[in-house]
Chains A and B, each alone.
Chain A
Amino acid sequence: MKSPAVLKMALLPGLMFASALATAAPVKIALVETLSGPQAATGLTYRAAVRYAVERINADGGWHGEPLELLEYDNQGGPAGAADKLKAAISDGAQIVVQGASSAIGGQITEDVRKWDLRNPGRELIYLNVGAEAQALTGDKCQFYHFRVAGNAPMRVNALVAGMKQDQALGSKVYAINQNYSWGQDMEQAIVDGAAAGGYTVVEKTLHDVGKIQDFSPYVNKIAASHADTVMTGNWGSDLLLLMKAAKTAGLKARFGTVYLDQPGNIANAGDVALGNYVAQTFNPEAAGEAGAAFMQDYRAKTGHEPTFIEPQTVFGMLLVGEALRQVPAGDGKLDVRKLALALEQASIETPMGKLSMRAQDHQALLPLAVSVVSRDAKYKADGTDMGFKPVKRFTAEEAAVPAQASCRMQRPD
């Protein structure tokens, strides 16, 4: 990382030149993430990815030669903290807000941004959602200045079903177990909706409390009693790990179809338990070939670790914003956020996984996906183990897309 002093030095001549034309402030991007507390691990991962992406956009010339400035705020893991820090970000002059961990926080931010934009025409904000995957954000709550560059439950489930079916690992009986909040409920609905296309029946559905359960063995008994072939779950963190470990120690013969198995630490902690289970990913370096290898190498060189979990989607989403910025004319030196939003609707870039673009209708990104299985044959190993994610099926953005929700009635400016 460059030190701020060096950055300022590099900025100085440009600033002196610009000030003759207009008082141009740099475009400020505010990261409002969980940087402390028990959920900090995820927030810090988002931060690493956003830092990397901003550096890369700036290396490519930022916005008309002027580097973007990244501001970081700690939302302390809750919507209340996020609302506070959003106000701070606005008063610091941020024009783009980035957040990803937790759909509950995402819901708060999108609502606050919508109200602010309504009340302050000409001083709008964009909320770039890099990871809050709840359906409501592109459904009931969809709004013009919210853009999601992550997946969502039906996209992940459809891909998972197709990938596991191709590998003949799906079977005909599926058990849905999810966390009891917006994301888990979306997952459950998506698993039920995918039954016809996947040719399976959902034998049982379970919703459980988030992050409170140490002992998953009672749930494993329930799964065993249902004689399911596959367990599908949107669980993350300890809820995923403990569930899989409990299933393994009980000798449960079902496969797992997951969304977040590639969270750092999971493979190391689960060990052999993870083998043979599936995950729907937004990036798999092996599937992405040479471009993937180059991205892995560059990311490791800049951040010290390889991109996994939500990092690739965050980087690609930010680069999409970088591309949209290029389409917005410099004007009087101040970024017109409305024009940026319109440009972002049309933006598309080539990522190592394939084409990534934004759907104007509901502001859900159309992104490529990969379904992978945990295997010792994988080219890239995870967590320093001898296991990794071997891709079994790739989906282009078009193949992975699901239609926009009817509940999204977006109010467009003019």
Chain B
Amino acid sequence: MEQLATPLLNGVIYGLLLFMVSAGLTLIFGMMGILNFAHASFYMLGAYFAYALQDVFGFWPAIIVSPLLVGVVGILVERYILRRVHRFGHAHELLITFGLSFIIVELVKLFFGNYPVNYRVPASLDFAAFTMGSLDYPAYRLFMGIVAIGMFVAIYLLLSRTRVGIVVRSAIHRPKMAEALGHNVPRVFMGVFGVGAAMAGLAGAVAGAFYTTSPNMALELGVLVFVVVVIGGLGSLEGAMLASLLIGIVTSVAVGIDASLADFMALFGAGDLAREIGGILVLKVSSLAASLPFALMLLVLLVRPSGLMGDKE
């Protein structure tokens, strides 16, 4: 039982973390049609801001202030950079966010150095929530999961139950009409971009302490976040949630599977033949765990190009 329960729980929590970062990305895409390459950089900024602030304010205020700062950075980026290139089309927007991601990484290296920084889980949260088998389950992981779920609920309610949400959704769906009705659509875009960045920042501030805060963290997570958004369907919040959980659970459970294609072929009596051929046939599933999301993305693109929950185009 616990052999399956722990990987599942791990996978769910990791999936929730992925969701925190990809939520903003998918929202921004759904609204503005911009695939924001700098999005994972906001995740990194969140971690570094929290690291820099925790010495001054302590851990708790730091993880609240840091996302706000990242949100402000996001707003500035939208207002003074993206809006200027908007009229040149999507390719330019794509390129400028791509360039921005490099600039942010280099700036971070300039201020904080090339190596991982000393940003750690605070002592008050550094304990075991419960014990499963012979291993403790860290309370901080549960905390990360709770933050992610809280964020999902808040964003979902905001979009579906409030007046602001109606305006945002209409601006996404029919920007011209919303503008004709007297809503300031550029300001809505700016706000959504800021909120999206802040969500990535929150994820960074929370996860940076648990994993590592290093100049490579954006790169390490960035690719995976795109995979999440593609699998979930570009622009779909629910899709991002589903895809994040799927990827989290698949990678986590796959680590425990030591079977290979050869074992599968052995069921048909071809095991020895497969082992003779070698190569991909004897590769264990566990050693491929981190590559499985990409295989999943390929599958989704082949079978359902708009993603699991994406609108059909």
**Judging by beta carbons under 8 Å apart, are A207 and B287 in contact?**
yes
**Judging by beta carbons under 8 Å apart, are A251 and B116 in contact?**
no
Cβ contact of B216, chosen from A238, A252, A264, A269, cutoff 8 A:
A238
Instruction: Report how far A142 CA is from B226 CA in the complex, Å.
Output: 41
**Judging by beta carbons under 8 Å apart, are B287 and A214 in contact?**
no
- Chain B, interface size category, equals 35 or more
Q: A40-B114, A41-B114 known; A221 and B10 CB under 8 Å?
A: yes
Instruction: Report how far A227 CA is from B133 CA in the complex, Å.
Output: 11
The verdict on A182 contacting chain B, using a C-beta distance below 8 Å, is: no
**Judging by beta carbons under 8 Å apart, are B290 and A209 in contact?**
yes
The verdict on A220 contacting chain B, using a C-beta distance below 8 Å, is: yes
Q: A214-B221, A250-B138 known; A208 and B115 CB under 8 Å?
A: no
Q: In the assembled complex, how far is the CB of residue B107 from the closest CB belonging to chain A, in whole angstroms?
A: 14
Instruction: Report how far A213 CA is from B251 CA in the complex, Å.
Output: 9
The verdict on B260 contacting chain A, using a C-beta distance below 8 Å, is: no
Residue with the greatest number of chain B CB neighbours at <10 A, chosen from A40, A213, A218, A264: A218
**Judging by beta carbons under 8 Å apart, are B290 and A208 in contact?**
yes
Cβ contact of B115, chosen from A41, A207, A225, cutoff 8 A:
A41
Residue of B nearest to A267 (CB): B118
Residue with the greatest number of chain B CB neighbours at <10 A, chosen from A238, A241, A249: A249
**Judging by beta carbons under 8 Å apart, are A271 and B120 in contact?**
yes
The verdict on B140 contacting chain A, using a C-beta distance below 8 Å, is: yes
**Judging by beta carbons under 8 Å apart, are B211 and A214 in contact?**
yes
**Judging by beta carbons under 8 Å apart, are A221 and B215 in contact?**
no
**Judging by beta carbons under 8 Å apart, are B10 and A217 in contact?**
yes
The verdict on A327 contacting chain B, using a C-beta distance below 8 Å, is: no
**Judging by beta carbons under 8 Å apart, are B115 and A264 in contact?**
yes
Cβ contact of A38, chosen from B113, B134, B136, B215, cutoff 8 A:
B215
The verdict on B97 contacting chain A, using a C-beta distance below 8 Å, is: no
Q: In chain A between 208 and 254, which residues have their CB closer than 8 angstroms to a CB of chain B? A: 208-209, 211-215, 217-222, 224-225, 227, 237-238, 241-242, 245, 249-253
The verdict on A268 contacting chain B, using a C-beta distance below 8 Å, is: yes
Q: Determine the chain B residues whose CB is within 8 A of the CB of A221 once the complex forms.
A: 3, 6-7, 10, 135, 255-256
Q: Determine the chain A residues whose CB is within 8 A of the CB of B115 once the complex forms.
A: 41, 263-265, 268-269
The verdict on B306 contacting chain A, using a C-beta distance below 8 Å, is: no
Q: Determine the chain A residues whose CB is within 8 A of the CB of B136 once the complex forms.
A: 249-251
The verdict on A189 contacting chain B, using a C-beta distance below 8 Å, is: no
0/1 per residue, B117-157, Cβ < 8 Å to A? 11111000010100101111110110000000000000000
Q: In chain A between 258 and 286, which residues have their CB closer than 8 angstroms to a CB of chain B? A: 263-266, 268-269, 271
Residue with the greatest number of chain B CB neighbours at <10 A, chosen from A44, A215, A225, A264: A215
**Judging by beta carbons under 8 Å apart, are A218 and B256 in contact?**
yes
0/1 per residue, B216-237, Cβ < 8 Å to A? 1001110010000000000000
The verdict on B212 contacting chain A, using a C-beta distance below 8 Å, is: yes
Q: Determine the chain B residues whose CB is within 8 A of the CB of A201 once the complex forms.
A: none
Cβ contact of A222, chosen from B121, B140, B256, cutoff 8 A:
B256
Cβ contact of B14, chosen from A214, A253, A265, A383, cutoff 8 A:
A214
Q: A238-B214, A245-B212, A252-B135 known; A218 and B287 CB under 8 Å?
A: no
**Judging by beta carbons under 8 Å apart, are B255 and A222 in contact?**
yes
0/1 per residue, B194-215, Cβ < 8 Å to A? 0000000000000000111111
Question: Number of A residues contacting the other chain (C-beta, 8 Å)?
Answer: 41
The verdict on A180 contacting chain B, using a C-beta distance below 8 Å, is: yes
Q: Determine the chain A residues whose CB is within 8 A of the CB of B256 once the complex forms.
A: 218, 221-222
**Judging by beta carbons under 8 Å apart, are A265 and B211 in contact?**
no
Instruction: Report how far A266 CA is from B212 CA in the complex, Å.
Output: 10
Instruction: Report how far A266 CA is from B287 CA in the complex, Å.
Output: 25
Q: Determine the chain A residues whose CB is within 8 A of the CB of B141 once the complex forms.
A: 217, 249
**Judging by beta carbons under 8 Å apart, are A208 and B287 in contact?**
yes
Q: In the assembled complex, how far is the CB of residue B124 from the closest CB belonging to chain A, in whole angstroms?
A: 14
The verdict on B41 contacting chain A, using a C-beta distance below 8 Å, is: no
0/1 per residue, B260-297, Cβ < 8 Å to A? 00000000000000000000000010111111000000
Instruction: Report how far A129 CA is from B177 CA in the complex, Å.
Output: 65
Q: In chain B between 5 and 55, which residues have their CB closer than 8 angstroms to a CB of chain A? A: 6-7, 10-11, 14
Q: Determine the chain B residues whose CB is within 8 A of the CB of A396 once the complex forms.
A: none
Q: A218-B289, A242-B212 known; A269 and B116 CB under 8 Å?
A: yes
Residue of A nearest to B113 (CB): A265
Q: In the assembled complex, how far is the CB of residue A179 from the closest CB belonging to chain B, in whole angstroms?
A: 10
Residue of B nearest to A212 (CB): B290
Q: A208-B287, A225-B3, A238-B214 known; A218 and B251 CB under 8 Å?
A: yes
The verdict on A206 contacting chain B, using a C-beta distance below 8 Å, is: yes
Q: A206-B287, A238-B212, A269-B118 known; A249 and B138 CB under 8 Å?
A: yes
**Judging by beta carbons under 8 Å apart, are B116 and A209 in contact?**
no
Residue of B nearest to A217 (CB): B10
Instruction: Report how far A280 CA is from B31 CA in the complex, Å.
Output: 53
**Judging by beta carbons under 8 Å apart, are A218 and B255 in contact?**
yes
The verdict on B252 contacting chain A, using a C-beta distance below 8 Å, is: yes
Q: Determine the chain B residues whose CB is within 8 A of the CB of A209 once the complex forms.
A: 287-291
Instruction: Report how far A38 CA is from B135 CA in the complex, Å.
Output: 34
Instruction: Report how far A222 CA is from B131 CA in the complex, Å.
Output: 15
Q: A206-B287, A221-B135 known; A38 and B216 CB under 8 Å?
A: yes
Instruction: Report how far A38 CA is from B109 CA in the complex, Å.
Output: 10
0/1 per residue, A34-51, Cβ < 8 Å to B? 000010110010000000
Nearest 3 Cβ contacts at the A-B interface: A265-B115, A41-B114, A251-B136
New contact pairs (9) apart from A268-B116, A269-B116, CB-CB < 8 Å: A44-B114, A211-B216, A214-B14, A215-B14, A218-B10, A218-B11, A219-B255, A265-B117, A268-B117
A residues whose Cβ falls under 8 Å from a Cβ of B: 38, 40-41, 44, 180, 206-209, 211-215, 217-222, 224-225, 227, 237-238, 241-242, 245, 249-253, 263-266, 268-269, 271, 383
Q: List 25 A-B contacts (CB under 8 A).
A: A41-B215, A208-B255, A208-B287, A208-B289, A209-B287, A209-B290, A213-B290, A217-B6, A220-B135, A221-B6, A221-B256, A224-B133, A225-B133, A227-B134, A238-B116, A238-B212, A238-B214, A245-B210, A250-B138, A252-B135, A264-B115, A265-B114, A269-B118, A269-B120, A383-B118
